[in-house]
Amino acid sequence: MKLLAKKKPLKILFWFGPFLLAAGLTSGFVSQNWGPIQLTLIILGTLIIVLWLIWQNKQNNWLGQRSTQASTNALIATLAVLAILGLINFLGTRYDTRVDLTETKLFTLAPQSRELVRNLQVPAKILLFDVNQDPVDRDLLENYRRQSSKFSFEYIDPQARPGLARKFGVKDYGEVYLEFGDKRQLVQVVGPQQRLSEVKLTNSLQQISSISSAKVYLLQGHGEHELSGKGEGVISQAVKALNDKGYTTSALNLVEKSSIPQDANVVVVAGPKRSLFENEVKALQDYLNRGGNVMLMIDPDTDPKLESLLAQWGVKLDNRLAVDVSASVGLGPAAPLVTQYGKHPITKDFGNGISFYPLARPIDTNPVPGIQATPLLLTKAYPNSWAESDQQSENLKFNPESDRKGPLTLGVALTRKLSAKSEATSNSTPTPTPTATPQTQASPTQRATPTTAATPASPTQRATPTTAATPASPTQRAKPIAAATPQTSASPTQRAKPTTPATPASPTPTTTPTATATPASPTPSSTSGESRMVVLGNSDFIINGLFDKQLNGDVFLNSVTWLSQQDQQPLSISPKEVINRRINLTGVQALLLELSSLVILPLIGLVVAAIFWWIRR
Amino acid sequence: MGVVLGNIIAIYRRELQSYFVSPLAYAIAGVFWLLSGLFFVLILMGPEGILQTVTALDLQGQQFGVPVPPIDVPYELVRAFLDRMGWLLLFVLPILSMGLYAEERKRGTLELLATSPLTNWAVAVGKLLGVLTFFITMVVPIMGIETIALSASSPPMPPAIPLLGHLGLILLAAAILSLGMFISSLTDSTILSAVFTFALMLLLLFVDLIAKNIGGSMGDALGHLSLLKHYNTLVQGIFDTSSLILFASYILLGIFLTAQSIDALRFQRS
């Protein structure tokens, strides 16, 4: 009795061993953290078990028994086998061979995707903001991950991690983001209707990995949209989106600089309200002539004095207002909805998506040799939309004399081969083309700004003969330091080098017009270079609040991407499609199937069972 | 080596004989055929079946002039059917494996086996081969029915994918039977053995779901244990060596554990 009483508490004490061990292991695995607490628990638990075993052994020499030896052997053998099998499986997953037996290779990545992922230098991560993990999507992502350790993916519940979701600007479940270094980009939105697509994923990956912090300058100083702040008409969302895509953005004031910086990949002129000075126009022209890329967004009722430049490219701004009286979604007739897009790399993915342009002016293009113009944005056909000349009257009516029937072009994309460029074109700028004249009268905003080019040049500029032609503006005289660094255009090779990795040659010939637009260095001398221009008859569509509506942001971002000449031709990955096959059962076959599977086979089994049962009895 | 092989074959024959004269085995086969036949007919020709759905789609496409996305009907049929079969195995296989050792224990013949000159693992291999053969004879008529349906496909379907899928089915069955055999060797109650096997199978099938919630490398490792995941890989038409290795590991583990448990029995009784 005494012995039993003494033994009992010790026996209970033993259970602390496994308990502490389990607690330590569990907390370690769950928290993925093997701190002192976990280690103490594990060590304490093991110690108790070992002590108990020693004590037990002392009690009845249990270790010496044959059964103990046998079971220890068995235990060790089992553990060894488990370890070996685990190791084999580990190696098996590391060095596995997968053969896709489906005829169209449904579960295999296209060679382009594989090549791209294998050559990743920077870790790329796919973040899926969704709670449902679709097995097909997962398989696809696993396929990507198998190619490279640089690729990873994660499902994130936006409810559970709101901070991360806000960082990415997640609006809805199913949004898939690509994070590449410090850049991030929306790939697509997945849902039951639309599963993750390899085409989109690979092309986003290619795009984001090739944009090598191209420099985007946004012109300021003539009432253009402000780049930061909170006021009306600020385009900080657009600027942020550019930065997220990997562009470096900065404001450009030509009054201070007098020529476009050498590292500029794209210059954006977003809605100037006042005229540009002649030397600024000249700077833009020079920039374009040496392979630059310019985006012009010009609102109606403004005259930025760009006619001479636009005329060179065969672009003419219509001074009428584009109206759209079709039953639009409460935007009013002055904000035309665009659902038709030209065939161009900028708009190729838009389909019939919507973008809208509050107060826009139509744009005309005349064919100019050496320049290829593609209309981007088209309004609806006549009864729904036209160009209205009478903007004062309250009721909108088509006036055949002065108005123009739709469809109107609100945006064009233009390219000019630099090989076609000669000294003649670059020097022909001062000659005022006749097309420029009729428009200058109408705009009321054309106010007291001194448009005359008669201002004398600043002393610093005179010192550098290379930029002699550019007359300085009056403000320049006020602070001559600003003009102290006249950047000459002498080193054209200094331009951003194409750091894009070589794309694997796609086996199928692509028909995209960008095929020729390889990011070869756009030096003026090179024959393969070209300069690009996008002209839009509206700039308000990218102001904060409108930028993220519908496709407005995409129109802007795609334009900049195209202009930056870093848009590689999208990899021509054909979407995986199964072979179209049907089963055409004849009546006899169907009957045979039903009979054999539902009647004959089960009957055979049951009857034979009954017979044997009968025999056995 | 030859002796061991001979032993395995002897056990294998004995097992097969016991199956092919057992009314229970035939009853199981009959029920299995009925259920799988029902699944097959419903998937193919049922009111919600593939044929009906695709015909409706095709008609719609013709009416509205919308091109129907390509559908590989026989491929979908094989996938859907093998998916259901995977679930059906869950119920059928524990019944097949429950008697493997538990019955011997109950009848008292296990002592004979345990003390016989045969090695334990040879007995286990022979038994597993026997029950697997029986299972394959259950599957073959079903494959015949499938062949009738697949032969009517146009354009004809190459046999690689259905064959790989059925290989997956047999491997899955072998893995489950092997582990079920081990459980059967632990107890002398067939019911208990069936229940525990069923529970283990559910665990191994659903470990995938648990793994997804854990995430990280731990989750990956757990997810790899999932039988269903690897079965699906094969059924989809992907020949993946890591899946084959996993199935082989389960089969080997089952045989090894069975041999160990019979070994332990030898010492307990002696």
Residue of B24, B38, B236 for testing the chain A interface, max A β-carbons within 10 Å? B236
Average pLDDT over residues A163-171: 83
* A612 touches B: beta carbon within 8 Å: yes
Rounded to whole angstroms, the Cα distance separating B110 from B266 reads 10
CA distances from A499 to A178, A202, A244, A502 (A): 20, 19, 18, 9
Chain B residues whose CB is inside 8 A of the A99 CB are: 238-240
pLDDT tens-digit map of A242-280: 887 778 888 888 877 778 888 888 999 988 888 888 888
CA atoms of B181 and A525, how far apart (whole Å): 80
Average pLDDT over every residue of A4-20: 70
**Residue B13 in this model has a pLDDT that exceeds 80:** yes
- Whole-number pLDDT of residue A469: 40
SS3 (DSSP) at A337: strand
Question: Hey, is A540 helix, strand or coil?
Answer: helix
Interface of B with A in 42-61 (CB under 8 A): 44-45, 50-51, 54
* Partner residues linked to B240 by β-bridges: A98
- Tell whether B249 is within 8 A of chain A (Cβ): yes
- Range with the lowest mean pLDDT among A487-501, A520-534, B69-83? A487-501
Does residue A509 surpass a pLDDT of 50?
Answer: no
* A89 pLDDT more than 70: yes
> Would you state the structure tokens that stand for residue A452, as one six-digit string?
């005359």
Per-residue model confidence (pLDDT) at position A528? 44
Q: What per-residue confidence (pLDDT) applies to A6?
A: 52
Cis check: omega of the bond before A407, within 30 degrees of 0: yes
A409 close to A365: Cβ distance less than 8 angstroms: yes
Interface of B with A in 102-131 (CB under 8 A): none
- CA B219, distance to chain mean position in Å, is 25
Instruction: Report CB contact under 8 Å: B54, A585.
Output: no
Q: Do B33 and A613 touch (CB under 8 A)?
A: no
In which band, very low, low, confident or very high, does the pLDDT at A328 lie, cut at 50, 70 and 90? Answer: low
The pLDDT of residue B12 is 92
Please state, in angstroms and rounded to a whole number, the distance separating the CA atoms of residues B180 and B127: 12
**Which sequence spans correspond to the domains of chain B?**
2-35+74-269
Q: Which residue has the higher pLDDT, A237 or B37?
A: B37
B267–A70 C-beta distance less than 8 A = yes
A30 has a chain B CB within 8 A of its CB: no
| ipTM value | 0.86
Query: Each residue of A149-183: b (16+ CB within 10 Å) or e?
Result: ebbebebbebeeeeebbeebebeebbbbbbbbeeb
Q: How far is residue A567 CA from its own chain's centroid? A: 12
Q: Is the Cβ pair B26, A66 closer than 8 Å? A: no
User: Could B141 and A601 be called an inter-chain contact, meaning their C-beta atoms sit closer than 8 Å?
Assistant: yes
A591 touches B at CB < 8 Å = no
Q: Taking 80 as the threshold, does the pLDDT of residue B257 lie above it? A: yes
Torsion, Cα A472 A475 A481 A483, to 10 degrees, reads -30
A76: contact with B, CB 8 A cutoff: no
In angstroms, how far is the first alpha carbon of chain B from the final one? Answer: 28
> Are A266 and A295 contacting, i.e. CB atoms less than 8 angstroms apart?
yes
Nearest to A148 by CA among A176, A128, A120: A120
In whole angstroms, how far apart are CA A63 and each of A52, B98, B268?
12, 35, 16
Interface membership of A131 toward B (CB under 8 Å): no
Which burial class, exposed, middle or buried, applies to A186 when counting CB atoms under 10 A from its CB (0-12, 13-18, 19+)?
A: middle
Phi, psi of A426 (to 5 degrees): -75, -25
Residues B84-119 have pLDDT tens digits of 998 888 888 999 888 888 888 888 888 777 777 778
* CB-CB under 8 Å, B153 with A583: yes
Kindly state whether B27 is in contact with chain A, defined as any CB-CB distance less than 8 angstroms.
yes
Closest CA to A457 of A471, A478, A475: A471
Could you tell me how many CB contacts below 8 A there are between chain A and chain B?
Answer: 193
- Give me the pLDDT at residue B38, please: 93
From the CA of B243, how many Å to the nearest CA of chain A?
Answer: 8
Chain A touched by B163 (CB under 8 Å): no
Higher pLDDT, A608 or A171: A608
A67 and chain B in contact, CB less than 8 A: yes
Greater model confidence, A503 or A107: A107
What six digits make up the tokens of B152? Answer: 């009517």
More confident residue, A246 or A46: A46
DSSP state, A172? S
Q: Is B72 within 8 Å of chain A by CB?
A: yes
A579/B252 touch (CB, cutoff 8 Å), yes or no: no
Nearest chain A Cα distance for residue B146, angstroms: 9
More confident residue, A247 or A4: A247
The fraction of chain A above a pLDDT of 70, given in percent, is: 76
Average pLDDT, chain B: 87
From A266, A235, A156, select the one nearest A496 (Cα to Cα): A266
Q: Find tokens 């108990």 and name the residue.
A: A52
Q: State the average pLDDT over residues B50-70.
A: 85
To the nearest whole number, what is the mean pLDDT of chain A? 75
Q: What residues in A contact B30, CB-CB < 8 Å?
A: 601-606, 608-609
Q: pLDDT digits over A178-201, tens only?
A: 888 878 888 888 888 788 888 888
Cβ–Cβ contact A574 with B under 8 A: no
More confident residue, B51 or A399: B51
Contact list in B for residue A604 (CB cut-off 8 A) is 30, 33
Question: Which residues 265-284 in chain A show a CB within 8 A of chain B?
Answer: none
Q: What is the DSSP letter of B241?
A: H
d(CA A607, CA A600): 10
- Name the residue facing A102 among B28, B237, B263 (closest C-beta): B237
The C-alpha atoms of residue A604 and residue B55 are separated, in whole angstroms, by: 34
Instruction: Tell me which chain B residues have a C-beta less than 8 angstroms from the C-beta of A71.
Output: 264, 267
Question: Out of B37, B154, B249, whose CB is closest to A89?
Answer: B249
Q: What is the pLDDT of residue B254?
A: 94
Q: Per the CB < 8 Å rule, is B260 touching A609?
A: no
In this prediction, residue A31 has a pLDDT band, given cuts at 50, 70 and 90, of: confident
Judged by CB atoms closer than 8 Å, whether chains meet at B23 and A594 is answered as: no
Q: Which of A4-8, A256-260, A441-445, B106-110 has the highest mean pLDDT?
A: B106-110
| Mean pLDDT comparison of A285-294, A361-370, A439-448, B249-258, highest-scoring range | B249-258
A36 or A483, greater pLDDT: A36
CA pair distance B235, B50, nearest whole angstrom: 18
Task: Select the residue from A193, A583, A591 to test the B interface by mutation, using most B Cβ atoms within 10 A.
Answer: A583
Task: Measure Cα distances from B185 to B7, B11, B103, B119, B126 in Å.
Answer: 19, 16, 9, 15, 14
A101 vs A432 pLDDT, higher one? A101
Q: What percent of chain B has pLDDT over 70?
A: 97
Among A409-423, A427-441, A536-550, the least confident range: A427-441
Q: Is A147 exposed, middle or buried (0-12, 13-18, 19+ CB in 10 A)?
A: middle
Partner A contacted by B155 (CB < 8 A): yes
Beta strands in chain B (DSSP E): 153-154, 238-240
Q: How far, in Å, are A21, A38, A41, A42, B211 from residue A25 at the CA level?
A: 6, 7, 8, 7, 18
pLDDT for B167? 94
Which residues in A lie closer than 8 A to residue B75 (C-beta atoms)? 102, 578, 581
Q: What gap in Å lies between CA B21 and CA A611, rounded to an integer?
A: 10
DSSP state of A598: I
Per-residue pLDDT tens digits for A346-380 = 888 788 888 888 888 899 888 888 888 989 888 88
Q: Beta strand A215-219 with A248-252: parallel, antiparallel or unpaired?
A: parallel
A510-550 confidence digits (pLDDT tens): 333 333 333 333 333 333 478 899 999 998 888 888 888 87
Inter-chain contact B267–A577, Cβ cutoff 8 Å?
Answer: no
Give A296 to chain B, closest Cα distance, Å.
Answer: 41
Question: Does the beta carbon of A441 lie under 8 angstroms from any beta carbon of chain B?
Answer: no
Distances (CA, A) of A44 to A14, A22, A129, B27: 11, 11, 42, 56
* Paired sense of beta strands A371-378 and A340-341, if any: antiparallel
Number of helices and strands in chain B (H, E): 11, 2
CA dist A42 and A46 (Å) reads: 6
Give pTM, 2 decimals.
0.65
Query: What pLDDT sits at residue A422?
Result: 44
Tens of pLDDT, residues A337-348: 888 888 888 888
Whether A221 shows a pLDDT value over 50: the answer reads yes
Tell me what pLDDT residue A62 has. 65
Counts for chain A of helices (H) and strands (E), in that order: 18, 21
User: What pLDDT does residue A515 have?
Assistant: 35
Question: Of B183, B207, B8, B17, which is closest to residue B93 (Cα–Cα)?
Answer: B183
